[in-house]
Every structure is written in structure tokens, then in C-alpha cells.
Amino acid sequence: MPSPTREYIPTLAPSLMTELHAPPSPRTHRQLRKLQSAHNLGAAARGSIGQPPGLISQQRLRELQARDVSPTRRAVSNRSPQRNRANSDASSPVNLVPTTAAALARHRSAMSKTSAAADVMSLERLIRDGPPDSDLQAALESARLKVLDQGIKSDSDGMSSIRIYVWLIFLNAPILDTDVYLGLIHRGASPAYSKIRNDTFRTLTTDPLFRRRVSEASLIRLLNAVAWRLHDAKEQRRPPSSRQSLPASDGTGSRPTTAHSSTSSPAAKNRARALTLTTEGESEAGAPEPGTYVQGMNVLAAPFLYAARSEVEAFIAFHQLLTKEVPGYIRGAMTGVHRGLALVDKVLAIVDPKLSLHLMAKGLSAEIYAFPSVLTLCACTPPLPEVLRLWDFLFAYGPHLNIFCIVAQLIMMRGELLRSPSPNKLLRSFPALQADQIKRTALAMVKMVPDDVYSETVRHAL
């Protein structure tokens, strides 16, 4: 379902907000202007979005364009425009104040009206029984608030019986017949198969929870099926004369039987080997098709397989994320990722100019240290249960908020980074995720950036 626009993203009560820094001095603005060239590195890419956004993103953009900027800013924050930027002279680390039930109740009352019937229901019952009074929008708003306030109940390993269904709802994923997924599997090796095989064995190798629950064969099947779907969509956009002669798909996604598919033929043996997806080798279909698979998709797919109760659920959720929410991450030269990296630099310069200047002085732009975090929505940083909790928030309020979550991690490392003569060593691998603190810091920063920067963040992955 459509993600909420900026004015409906909750802001913590003033006593709970992350107090980043005081208003800046005039000297701070001069320093910010010096950073402009570095932050404009992604400007050309930002203006080159050529393909239309998905339904969810279209709705989000329409709502952003329709709103009156000034009243919206006043509605979401009591701060004056001068408080949009931070004080570069501040030296104390960010003070993260834990939330309280009373403050959460205050910010809930400031939100758009939710269904009273949905508010008294648990998230589990709301997912099971559906929206009371058939009020879908109010039930969605209530579900988002429940995810933000209470989280999704899970065990110490991050396992939950309802998480995948919450994700499917927030991602507006369609119902998929299992036979369609099986049909994609039975087509054998996709054009990206050899590239997939080069990545899957390295997926979250240091995470025992993932390795215990998800097999490499399962990950290969999922990525191969997604690669077929993306390939087919790309081929449909090509002129008929330029389409590749690859195995065709029938209504269920499986290939028709031909005279060359006897069980004794070499091609049949290769297809059987691809079906098991457990042996080495490359696809006979040729080199991976550009735009159907990029390195890093294996890590982005991993949490879906871990949280889902079946491969089909993981497949449709993952495919929906790629094609409707972050298509720019896998298109061409991954221009969406590079736009996201430029935004990490820009947002950091707005909320903490001193830290931004320190990193830039060391030659540390986001392109150097944040590429995996942008591409994988922070799934590259353990532990996995914290990744799942962070994704609950991102899917509820929009994956574009991952940009703020990455900056939030930098803010949480602020003291160490400023004290370190070589901050690149600290940024080689981010500290363990702390989803709750990251969310609180990110929500505070959302209200600090100008409207045009936030709008750019919404669009960057499309």
C-alpha cells in the first residue's frame, strides 16, 4: 500500500527527539557552501531518471507534489527555519533519549486520525482479521504506528509468524500462485545464472542464524527466478526484431517442451543440473543480461528468505521491492545507488556539518564507505535480527528512509569519528546495528532537512 508522505511520518515528542546540535553560525554556512561541489557529484545522475515509477512511488510523489510546503513544515515541526541546520562547532555526541509510553501517546494523537477499532487490536489480530469497518487506510496507519511504537513480536533470533505478511502488505505485493514460481524454477538457468552462482556462497557467511535457516540452493533459486522475471520484463520492452532467442515462457512461467528436450540430450542434462542449483557451472544462455542482476542483490534477498515461511513469499516480496520501490538500484549502472550516496553526503552536511567536513577532509565521501549500506538497505551490517527490525520501519514508512538511517549510524559514531585521525578504518565496517536508536535518530533528521532534499530522497531510487 502507498507509504505515508512526509507529514505523516511520526516525529517524536520534543523531549524524545534526538537533539543533534544548536543553530549554526554564519561561518557554518560558508563552510557548507565549500562542500557544494562534492555534494553535486550525483546531480547529473539525479536528473536522468527515465523510467516511470511504480504505483506506490507514484502515489508518494503525487502526495508530495500536492502539498503546500510551508504549512506542511509547520505541521510536522515546531522548529523555525533557522533550525534546519546543525552547529558545526558542537562537539558532544548525540544524546539519544529513550521513548516513553506517554510521549508515544502524544505523538500518536498528533498523527492523522486512525481507526479506534484498529487501535485497540493487536498487530497480529489486525493482520489476521483485516481492517475493521473496512477502513483500509485507517488500518494501515494504525499498523504503521504499531510497528513503530511496539515493533513486531519476535524471538531472540528475529523469527516472527507475521513479519513476512506485514512486509507483503506494506510493499503492496500481489498474490502469487505457487505454480508461477515453480514455472520460473523449471525454466532452468537464467542469463544471470553464472553471476548469481559467483555471489551466493558469500552471502552473510559470518551469520550463523542465516546459514542455519537458509540454504544456498534456496537463495540461488530465488535469485534465478527473479532474474528470469526481470529479463522477461526487459525483453518485452525491446522491439521484436532485437529480442534474444531464449526459452519462452507459457502462462505459468515454464518453458514449452520441444523436440530437443529429451532426457538423454546434453541440454536436458544441463537443465536438470540448473534445477537442483547445487553444482558449479555457467548458464548456456549467455552472459548475464544488464539490468537483470547486480552484485549485492544476494544480500538484499537474504532477509526475505530468512523471514518468509516459503520461497514464494520471499520471491514476491523481493521482486516487488526491486521493481516498485528501488528499481534504480538495479538499472543500468545502478544510478539510483549513486544518487543515494550523494544524498548521504548531502543529508550529513545538513544535520552535522562538522562531521561532514571532517570526513570530506579525509577524502571520505559516501561513495567510499556507504555503497553496500545503500544498495542492501543496511542488510550488510549484522546482526540479522536488528536488520529485520529496521526493515519493519523502512517498509512501513518507505525504503527511501534508509538514507537517513545510514546518516543516523554516522551520527551515532560521531565522537569516535571526530577523534580518529583515520576514520576510514572505523568506516570499513559499521558497528552492529541498533535498530531502535537508528530509527529515533532518523526520524529527528527527517524534520531537519529542507523539503527539496526530502523530495529528492523519495525519488532517488526510482
| HSE value, Cβ hemisphere, 13 Å, CA-based, for 399 | 34
Could you tell me which residues come within 8 angstroms of residue 331 by beta carbon, excluding any fewer than 6 positions away?
51, 291
Q: In whole angstroms, give the CA distance from residue 349 to residue 41.
A: 14
* Nearest CA among 408, 415, 403, 397 for reference residue 433: 408
418 near 456, Cβ under 8 Å? no
Residue 13 C-alpha from the chain's centroid: 26
**What DSSP element (H or E) covers 410?**
helix 402-412
Residue pair 444/17 in contact (Cβ under 8 Å)? The answer is yes
Residue 383, preceding bond cis, omega within 30 degrees?
A: yes
The reported pLDDT for the residue numbered 135 is 83
Q: Which of 173, 153, 196 is nearest to 298 (CA)?
A: 196
* Residue 207 CB neighbour total at 10 angstroms: 17
What integer pLDDT is reported at residue 258 of this predicted model? 35
Which of 350, 338, 324 has the alpha carbon at shortest distance from 168? 324
- The CA distances from residue 129 to 124, 380, 444, in Å, are 9, 35, 34
d(CA 352, CA 88): 6
pLDDT at 242: 62
Model confidence, pTM: 0.73
Distances (CA, A) of 65 to 52, 346, 448: 16, 21, 19
Give the per-residue pLDDT at 283.
35
Cell numbers placing 461: 531510487
Nine-digit cell string for 313 = 513469499
Burial of 34 (0-12, 13-18, 19+ CB in 10 A): exposed
Each domain of the chain, given as residue ranges in start order, spans 6-173+324-459, 178-321
Give the model's pLDDT for residue 136. 86
Q: How far is CA 263 from CA 187, 249, 266, 267, 272, in A?
A: 15, 20, 8, 9, 9
How far apart (Å, rounded) are the C-alpha atoms in residues 336 and 257?
39
Distance of CA 118 to the CA centre of its chain: 27
**Which CATH code is given to the segment(s) 6-173+324-459?**
1.10.472.80
Q: For 150-199, how does the pLDDT look when each residue is reduced to its tens digit (9 = 90+)?
A: 999 999 999 999 999 999 999 999 999 999 999 999 999 999 999 999 99
CA distance 242 to 265: 29
Residue 66 Cα distances to 5, 72, 462, angstroms = 11, 11, 19
> Exposed, middle or buried: residue 452 (CB in 10 Å: 0-12, 13-18, 19+)?
exposed
- Cell 492523522: give the residue: 112
Q: Are 183 and 253 in contact (CB under 8 A)?
A: yes
Question: CA dist 21 to 89, 91, 353, 446, 448, Å?
Answer: 9, 9, 10, 15, 11
CA separation for the pair 306, 124 (Å, rounded): 19
Q: How far is CA 440 from the centre of its chain?
A: 17
Name the one residue in this structure whose C-alpha cell is 539490468: 291
Q: Which residues contact 14 (CB under 8 A, 6 or more apart)?
A: 78
pLDDT at 131: 85
Q: Which three cell numbers stand for residue 405?
A: 538511517
Low-confidence ranges of the chain (pLDDT < 70): 1-4, 7-8, 11-115, 241-291
Report pLDDT for 241: 64
**Among candidates 460, 462, 348, which has minimal Cα distance to 405?**
348
What pLDDT, on a 0 to 100 scale, did the predictor assign at position 81?
31
Helices (H), ranges, 321-383: 335-351, 353-361, 366-369, 371-375
Structure confidence at residue 262 (pLDDT):
37
3-state SS, residue 434 = coil
Compute the half-sphere exposure of residue 386: CA atoms within 13 Å on the CB side of its CA: 16
- Nearest alpha carbon to residue 346 among 43, 17, 47, 57: 43
User: Which stretches of 238-334 are DSSP H helices?
Assistant: 266-276, 297-307, 311-320
pLDDT for 115 equals 63
